[in-house]
Structure 1
Amino acid sequence: MSVLGALTRRVGHHRWFAATARLLVPADRAVGRLTRGRVVALGLAPSLVLTTTGRRSGKPRSNPLLYVRDGDAFVVTGSNWGQTHHPGWTMNLLALPDAEVAVRGRRIPVQAQVVSGEDRDRLWRLLVTEWPAYQTYVRRAGGREIRVFRLVPVGRGAPADTDDRG
């Protein structure tokens, strides 16, 4: 892990970081779109761009997210930076689980599955290992359980070497 990556993980627990990072999400989306998913989150953590279908609008909605791998699947969480409500993209996935991820410039169709029980606990530990601030986000959100999704490739799945930073 780079020094900048380690520093980012350390300051990720602070409210000012979450507030600042939320403001940078539109810029991160634009960079991800311009680089076709090759650069997301400045390469500080394994990141992808998730494109869901708006549950009300029917329009594509893209969000840069940190992820961990679980076999061929991508695992993401709707932390919403510790806010008390779930992010809109999670509600889109609940309504329409067919989505797409862009990782290293590859577009991969996926089917979203909400994870629960022991499997959720196992995947949550992986997510917290990658981004320890997720634990802080749970406290900040008043203890609300943060949704965890497994994004399973459909059709032509992602090769095992897609797991990288950005």
Structure 2
Amino acid sequence: MTAGEQVLDSPEGWVADHIQRYVATDGADGHEWRPGVFTLLLTTRGRRSGTLRRTALIYGRDGDSYLIVASQGGDPKHPAWYLNLLAEPEVLVQVGAERFTARARTATAAEKPRMWTTMVSIWPPYDDYQAKTDRDIPVVVLDRV
């Protein structure tokens, strides 16, 4: 990922608006999305297009790592951003005003229960999303490079 590359924001209108406010204010407007619920911006490289794509996601922490959930509201298919990071795990992350490169990986079977509990404590609907799909919703670990 190189400086100056064009980044396409989520096509979902309210998410795109959230991203624009977040970027314009270095996270002052958008980092805390709802009371006690914080978001980061994740930029992945499109697995087919090669284009940089950015979305906003709720996050938690596990030590120095950031956690995100590939829930897509319980949809039967994984979100595109998750498929992108499987193909190219080097991602860009913005948390508030801080921007950094990270390596993304799916939590292991041993890690996931603890990490899932962390994320459900932040956003309880994740349990509802899992209940409505047969897909095992991944928890993604982002480690600063």
Report TM bin, short chain: 0.7 to 0.9
Higher RCO, Cα 8 Å, sep 6+: 1
The 2-side partners of 1:116 and 1:91 are apart by 17
Q: Is 1:40 aligned to residue 36 of structure 2? A: no
The amino acid that maps onto 1:88 is A
The 2-side partners of 1:110 and 1:24 are apart by 25
Q: Is 1:145 aligned to residue 129 of structure 2? A: no
CA contact (8 A) 1:38 1:103 kept: no
The amino acid that maps onto 1:143 is D
Instruction: Tell me which moved more, 76-85 or 127-136.
Output: 76-85
CA contact (8 A) 1:40 1:49 kept: no
The 2-side partners of 1:133 and 1:23 are apart by 21
Structure 2 counterpart of 1:28: 18
The 2-side partners of 1:98 and 1:37 are apart by 22
The 2-side partners of 1:31 and 1:39 are apart by 6
Against the structure 1 CA distance between its residues 94 and 144, is the aligned structure 2 distance closer, same or farther, given a 3 Å change threshold?
Answer: same
**Greater fraction of residues in helix:** 1
Structure 1 counterpart of 2:128: 136
CA contact (8 A) 1:51 1:100 kept: yes
Q: Which residue, out of 96, 108, 117, partners 1:116?
A: 108
Q: Is 1:106 aligned to residue 95 of structure 2? A: no
Structure 1 counterpart of 2:41: 49
Structure 1 residue 30: Cα displacement: 1.9
In structure 1, list runs of 5 or more residues that go unmatched: 1-21, 155-166
Same amino acid, percent of matched pairs: 34
Relative to the length of structure 1, the TM-score reads 0.74
CA contact (8 A) 2:90 2:103 kept: yes
Report how many aligned residue pairs link the two structures. 132
Q: Is 1:69 aligned to residue 61 of structure 2? A: yes
Against the structure 1 CA distance between its residues 153 and 41, is the aligned structure 2 distance closer, same or farther, given a 3 Å change threshold?
Answer: closer
**Greater fraction of residues in strand:** 2
In structure 2, list runs of 5 or more residues that go unmatched: 1-11
**CA RMSD, 1 decimal:** 1.5
The 1-side partners of 2:28 and 2:106 are apart by 26
